[in-house]
Amino acid sequence: MRYYPVLLDLVGRPAVVIGGGAIAEGKVAALVAAGARVTVIAPGLTGGLAARHRAGRFAHVARAYQHGDLAGAFLAIGATDDPEVNHAVHAEAVSVGALVNVVDDVPYCQFILPSILRRGDFTVAVSSAGHAPALAVRVRERLERELGDEYGRFLELAAELRAPLAMAVPDFQRRKAIWYRLVDSDVLVLLRAGQEMRARARVAEITGVELAGASGRESSAEIAGRSRPDGPGTVYLVGAGPGDPRLITARGLGLLAQADVVVYDRLVSAALLEQARSDAELIYVGKAPGAHCVQQDGINDLLVREARFGKMVVRLKGGDPFVFGRGAEEALACVEAGVPVEVVPGVSSVLGATASAGIPVTARGLAGGFAVITAHRAGPEDCHDWAALARMDTLVVLMGVERLPQVVERLLANGRTPDTPVAIVENGTLATERVIEATLANVVERAQAAGAHPPAVVVVGETVRLRGALTPRAATDLTADLSAADDRHVA
Ligand SMILES: C[S@@+](CC[C@H](N)C(=O)[O-])C[C@H]1O[C@@H](n2cnc3c(N)ncnc32)[C@H](O)[C@@H]1O
């Protein structure tokens, strides 16, 4: 075993980060979140770091690294783009006995940073010993889809339960058996569904220990009864934008930085969540294809419940909250419960992913209008007017990868010509963005061959042709040997 895995308690310990660029940003956020006393030494800071510095999260020494900067440090991170500086940081850290990591330079690391999944106190660390961090990230992402916020909540219950259970059941073996019964029970499922009170009742049933609030499902009346005397907090339905964390609105970012509770979806980027207060409660309610998910009623109840506690709740939703995001239901639940709610629009993937791929949804002379649909309605319960949709200049289809054959078939059956250009934009605006270009005649085949997968928008219409002219990368791709298609463009 090359590395010995440990979890460090950094609360109050001095940590020094040398460098103020994009790489330092993530390291600083993680150190601050872990409670370290962080000092960043760098002549300048990225916008994100500067914002955190203004919020008092860490100290900043605005100059280049000098020998002596690591005096008293418990941990040091070399994150400049100058290997000489990074190596000098390493040498000083070793001489003062500080743990040191030089980013992306394994021989100069006494410790390496695993890919982390957190759900409250529940932590999963995945490491490839520095050989293939991308693999560790993918494994973590897979786990992220599986393991929701209920794991953190389970640990909160477990922390409450530990002492009373030890008193009630002094025999270690019996207690151990009870813990396994709890872990194997439906408590996690109830927590995932937002049914906290029922989960507590289940814990009481299994352990014989009554925790506060173990009486059963919390009713709306109970929730209302617990309103703080100074009134409920506000729920902000905030559009997080299509993927790139920089595409959230200034209003959305400001609210995110102040929220007590952030309730977020699967497509919301981790970099955005880092903008939340370090003591904010982050609650994952994402819906991964094929995995359990928190039911919509559970999410509505959660928003109302947290606001009833007087908390400022940011409900962070991918794209725009009112575009196929069930934002309307969440807003209505708040209104019905008398909880103030504000909607902060976001850049929808409808416009964000298409623009990022160089595809205008309207263009003088080519497209005078566009329509947006979800392909979920292209199933047996179809209620779209396909004749009208087939006549639209540009059609943008969300959630369209799975039902692409049905969408294509309906458009062709209603008179759209087979040579109409089509593009599938996967992971729009993200570093992993990929565009598959085709026509209505061959898009299903090409999507299959390229392994198209969600999240993706499908764009149908003549403006797809502008992509070559509007994105230099795409223009090069178009003239390149088609067999050498790269990972951003599969033609
Ligand atoms: C439940 S809908 C939510 C839409 C979101 N409210 C919006 O305004 O973008 C999810 C769908 O949005 C699209 N989508 C979201 N993010 C995307 C991205 N980065 N690239 C391409 N499509 C995306 C996909 O069609 C995905 O299946």
CA 466 and chain centroid, separation: 31
pLDDT digits (tens, 9 = 90+) for 456-491: 999 999 999 999 888 765 544 433 333 333 333 443
Q: Are the CB atoms for 348 and 318 separated by under 8 Å?
A: no
- Which of the following is catalytic: 265, 301, 320, 477? 265
Tell which atom from ligand 1 comes closest to the C-alpha of 400: 25
What is residue 487's predicted lDDT score, i.e. its pLDDT?
37
Sheet of 434-439, strands arranged across: 370-374, 394-398, 456-460, 421-426, 434-439, 489-490
Active-site annotation holds for 265: yes
What is residue 215's predicted lDDT score, i.e. its pLDDT?
52
Active-site annotation holds for 287: yes
Ligand 1 within 6 A of CB of 320: yes
Give first-to-last CA distance, the chain, whole Å. 44
Helices and strands in the chain: count of H runs, count of E runs: 19, 18
What is residue 447's predicted lDDT score, i.e. its pLDDT?
97
What is residue 428's predicted lDDT score, i.e. its pLDDT?
96
CATH class for domain 234-347?
alpha beta
pLDDT digits (tens, 9 = 90+) for 151-160: 999 999 999 9
Gap from CA of 341 to ligand 1 centroid (Å):
23
Paired sense of beta strands 313-317 and 281-284, if any: unpaired
DSSP 441: T
Tell which atom from ligand 1 comes closest to the C-alpha of 398: 25
What is residue 477's predicted lDDT score, i.e. its pLDDT?
45
Tell which atom from ligand 1 comes closest to the C-alpha of 348: 8
Alpha helices, H only, 394-464:
404-413, 443-450
pLDDT digits (tens, 9 = 90+) for 270-287: 889 888 888 888 888 876
Q: Are the CB atoms for 223 and 297 separated by under 8 Å?
A: no
For residue 447, give both structure tokens: 């999507």
Tell which atom from ligand 1 comes closest to the C-alpha of 350: 9
**CATH among 3.40.50.300, 3.30.950.10, 3.20.20.60, 3.40.50.2000 for 350-487:** 3.30.950.10
Name the residue of 349, 359, 435 whose CB sits within 8 Å of the most ligand 1 atoms, as the mutation to test its pocket. Answer: 349
Is the predicted pLDDT of residue 146 greater than 90, yes or no?
no
Query: Where exactly are the structural domains of the chain?
Result: 14-113, 150-223, 234-347, 350-487
pLDDT digits (tens, 9 = 90+) for 183-230: 988 888 888 877 888 888 889 989 988 877 655 444 443 444 444 445
Q: What is the mean pLDDT of the chain?
A: 88
Q: Are the CB atoms for 110 and 143 separated by under 8 Å?
A: no
Judge if 14-113 and 234-347 fold alike in CATH terms: no
Ligand 1 within 6 A of CB of 147: no
What is residue 433's predicted lDDT score, i.e. its pLDDT?
96
The overall longest dimension of the chain from CA atoms, in Å, is: 80
Give Cβ neighbours of residue 136 (< 8 Å, ≥ 6 apart).
114, 115, 126, 127, 128
Among 350, 310, 311, 344, CA closest to 327: 344
Alpha helices, H only, 294-453:
296-308, 327-337, 349-356, 386-391, 404-413, 443-450
**24 compared with 131, residue with greater pLDDT:** 24
What is residue 62's predicted lDDT score, i.e. its pLDDT?
96
Ligand 1 within 6 A of CB of 420: no
pLDDT digits (tens, 9 = 90+) for 245-270: 999 999 999 899 889 999 998 889 88
d(CA 314, CA 253): 10
Assigned superfamily of 14-113: NAD(P)-binding Rossmann-like Domain (3.40.50.720)
Among 487, 225, 475, 242, CA closest to 356: 242
Gap from CA of 231 to ligand 1 centroid (Å):
35
The reply to whether omega before 455 is within 30° of 0 (cis) is yes
For residue 374, give both structure tokens: 């979800």
Amino acid in the structure at residue 319: G
What is residue 378's predicted lDDT score, i.e. its pLDDT?
64
Gap from CA of 197 to ligand 1 centroid (Å):
33
pLDDT digits (tens, 9 = 90+) for 26-70: 899 889 989 999 999 999 999 889 988 988 889 999 999 999 999
Paired sense of beta strands 261-264 and 281-284, if any: parallel
Q: Are the CB atoms for 99 and 74 separated by under 8 Å?
A: yes
Amino acid in the structure at residue 113: L
Question: Could you tell me the pTM of the whole model?
Answer: 0.56
What is residue 285's predicted lDDT score, i.e. its pLDDT?
87
Name the residue of 266, 267, 299 whose CB sits within 8 Å of the most ligand 1 atoms, as the mutation to test its pocket. Answer: 267
Is the predicted pLDDT of residue 293 greater than 80, yes or no?
no
For residue 38, give both structure tokens: 């962080």
d(CA 441, CA 332): 42
- Which of the following is catalytic: 27, 69, 287, 317? 287
3-state DSSP call for residue 96? helix
Residue 314, beta-bridge partner list: 236, 262
What is residue 166's predicted lDDT score, i.e. its pLDDT?
92
What is residue 369's predicted lDDT score, i.e. its pLDDT?
97
Q: Are the CB atoms for 461 and 367 separated by under 8 Å?
A: yes
Count other Cβ atoms within 10 Å, centred on residue 6.
8
What is residue 343's predicted lDDT score, i.e. its pLDDT?
96
